[in-house]
């Protein structure tokens, strides 16, 4: 699989670029705000947590960092975040949909009965991680497309998770929300070249990252000797996806040395990675990277290239025809 190592990346083309990030007050978001500001980027972050956000702004003491309180579940608050960023900086170049919460309670608690199941459960995780992310992505894409000239590079980066594609015990709503994020990625990479002037869109699917979200399993993770991501790895990966325009992307992804001699990280002629060759797109787009120990492995290319193996030759052939048809028929707007 194609990969890049976030720990050895240092993007050089983000100075003065304007970023908007959700959930920037702690964890991955805070490290990203800090790292981007250190590269000379201008960063506006939105977060629910006013106290933590203000203390981050105070700690960084950077004229390039500002905060606007924003609950991503509230559409108008997301709009206000982008309106504020545009009024402060005159344009928006990159957006990072990072805000998220971990599983709350147990959706399929074995102590549930036909009486207790009558009580409506809390679906906060879906509201923040999926509905909030979709709200953020919509407003972000429109604000970035608003004044985008053809040569300009703009990106949306989505925080999914390893739980976005690997089964994860007892993370019922979290897992659904992070799968949903990859669904959004896959449809946006087809739609954006036409609908959003070629704004690039990618996703990150980290395994364990050392933040408050994972504090309960940190000791067991380390004891098992598993590779951990640090928040700085995520900050660098997020920065690199934004930096991977048509000039930077070609040298970014390395190719895994495989014993069978198959060359990966290439488009093939059977319809694979069609999103990468759509007119008007340039730079790295449509990818979802699994992260462990700071290394970012692209899962989309492998899924696409090997579909005839995991799905079978016959259905794979049909899917290629369906995709060709859908490209011809196009997208029809519905009421
Ligand atoms: N920590 C991990 O191991 C890990 C792994 C995979 C994916 N992720 C994802 O990375 C993202 C960041 O997680 P983190 O580990 O830094 O956690 P974190 O709890 O440190 O940070 C989450 C941030 O989101 C903010 N937030 C929560 N609800 C919000 C809302 N409604 N509106 C606006 N902001 C809100 C919080 O205030 C906080 O600042 C999340 O989407 C998470 O699912 C984390």
Q: Is 160 considered catalytic here?
A: yes
Tell me the C-alpha distance between 112 and 30, whole Å. Answer: 38
pLDDT tens column, 285-304: 899 999 999 999 999 888 88
Residues in the chain: 335
Q: Which of 180, 157, 163, 301 is nearest to 237 (CA)?
A: 157
Q: What is the dihedral of CA 234, 236, 159, 151, to 10 degrees?
A: 180
Sorting pLDDT into bands at 50, 70 and 90, what band is 270?
A: very low
- By three-state DSSP, how is residue 158 classified? strand
Sorting pLDDT into bands at 50, 70 and 90, what band is 277?
A: very low
Mean pLDDT rounded to a whole number for the chain: 90
How far is ligand 1, taken at its centre, from the CA of residue 46, in Å?
12
How far is ligand 1, taken at its centre, from the CA of residue 66, in Å?
19
- By three-state DSSP, how is residue 301 classified? helix
What is the layout of strands, in order, in the sheet containing 94-97?
A: 3-5, 295-298, 288-292, 200-206, 155-159, 94-97, 18-22, 42-47, 65-69
Going by alpha carbons, the residue nearest to atom 30 of ligand 1 is 71
Q: Which of 25, 178, 197, 290 is catalytic?
A: 178
Instruction: Provide residues with CB under 6 Å of ligand 1.
Output: 22-23, 25-29, 47-49, 70-73, 98-101, 128, 132, 159, 161, 206, 208-209, 211-214
How far is ligand 1, taken at its centre, from the CA of residue 32, in Å?
12
Going by alpha carbons, the residue nearest to atom 40 of ligand 1 is 100
Indicate which atom in ligand 1 lies nearest the CA of residue 128: 31
Tell me the C-alpha distance between 301 and 299, whole Å. Answer: 6
Going by alpha carbons, the residue nearest to atom 44 of ligand 1 is 209
Going by alpha carbons, the residue nearest to atom 38 of ligand 1 is 23
Tell me the C-alpha distance between 42 and 67, whole Å. Answer: 11
How far is ligand 1, taken at its centre, from the CA of residue 41, in Å?
22
Tell me the C-alpha distance between 164 and 18, whole Å. Answer: 28
pLDDT tens column, 158-213: 999 999 999 999 999 999 999 999 999 999 988 898 899 999 999 999 999 999 99
H helix or E strand, kind and range, residue 236 = helix 231-243
DSSP conformation letters of 191-222: HHHHHTTT-EEEEEEES-B-SGGGGGGHHHHH
Q: Is 178 considered catalytic here?
A: yes
Has residue 41 got a pLDDT over 60?
Answer: yes
Q: Which of 22, 53, 160, 207 is catalytic?
A: 160
pLDDT tens column, 43-97: 999 999 999 999 999 999 999 999 999 999 999 999 999 999 999 999 999 999 9
- Out of 20, 21, 22, 23, mutate this one to test ligand 1's pocket (max ligand atoms within 8 Å of CB): namely 23
Tell me the C-alpha distance between 133 and 129, whole Å. Answer: 6
Cβ–Cβ < 8 Å for 291, 233: yes
3-308: CATH topology: Rossmann fold (3.40.50)
Q: Which of 174, 177, 197, 207 is catalytic?
A: 174
pLDDT at 250: 75
Going by alpha carbons, the residue nearest to atom 20 of ligand 1 is 27
Sorting pLDDT into bands at 50, 70 and 90, what band is 330?
A: low
How far is ligand 1, taken at its centre, from the CA of residue 73, in Å?
14
Tell me the C-alpha distance between 33 and 66, whole Å. Answer: 10
How far is ligand 1, taken at its centre, from the CA of residue 101, in Å?
5
Indicate which atom in ligand 1 lies nearest the CA of residue 206: 6
How far is ligand 1, taken at its centre, from the CA of residue 99, in Å?
5
Domain boundaries, given as residue ranges, for the chain: 3-308
């Amino acid at each position: 699989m194609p990969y890049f190592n976030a720990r050895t990346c240092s993007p050089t083309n983000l100075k003065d670029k304007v970023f908007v990030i959700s959930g920037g007050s702690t964890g991955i978001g805070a490290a990203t705000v800090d790292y981007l500001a250190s590269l000379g980027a201008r960063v506006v972050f939105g977060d629910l947590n006013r106290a933590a956000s203000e203390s981050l702004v105070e700690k960084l003491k950077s004229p390039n960092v500002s905060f606007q309180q924003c609950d991503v579940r509230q559409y108008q608050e997301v709009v206000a975040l982008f309106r504020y960023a545009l009024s402060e900086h005159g344009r928006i170049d990159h957006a990072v949909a990072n805000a998220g919460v971990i599983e709350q309670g147990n959706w399929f608690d074995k102590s549930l009965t036909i009486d207790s199941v009558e009580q409506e459960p809390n679906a906060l995780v879906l509201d923040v991680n999926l509905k909030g992310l979709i709200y953020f992505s919509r407003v972000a894409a429109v604000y970035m497309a608003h004044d985008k000239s053809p040569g300009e590079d703009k990106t949306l980066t989505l925080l999914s998770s390893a739980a976005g594609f690997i089964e994860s015990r007892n993370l019922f709503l979290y897992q659904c929300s992070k799968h949903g994020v990859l669904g959004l990625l896959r449809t946006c990479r087809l739609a954006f070249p036409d609908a959003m002037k070629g704004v690039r869109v990618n996703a990150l699917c980290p395994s364990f990252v050392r933040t408050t979200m994972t504090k309960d399993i940190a000791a067991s993770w380390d004891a098992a000797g598993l590779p951990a991501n640090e928040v700085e790895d995520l900050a660098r990966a997020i920065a690199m996806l934004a930096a991977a325009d048509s000039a930077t992307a070609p040298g970014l992804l390395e190719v895994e040395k495989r014993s069978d001699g198959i060359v990966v990280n290439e488009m093939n002629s059977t319809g694979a990675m069609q999103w990468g060759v759509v007119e008007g797109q340039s730079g790295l787009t449509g990818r979802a990277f699994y992260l462990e120990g700071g290394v970012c492995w692209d899962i989309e290319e492998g899924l696409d290239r090997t579909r005839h193996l995991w799905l079978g030759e016959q259905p794979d052939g049909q899917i290629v025809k369906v995709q060709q048809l859908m490209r011809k028929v196009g997208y029809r707007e519905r009421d």
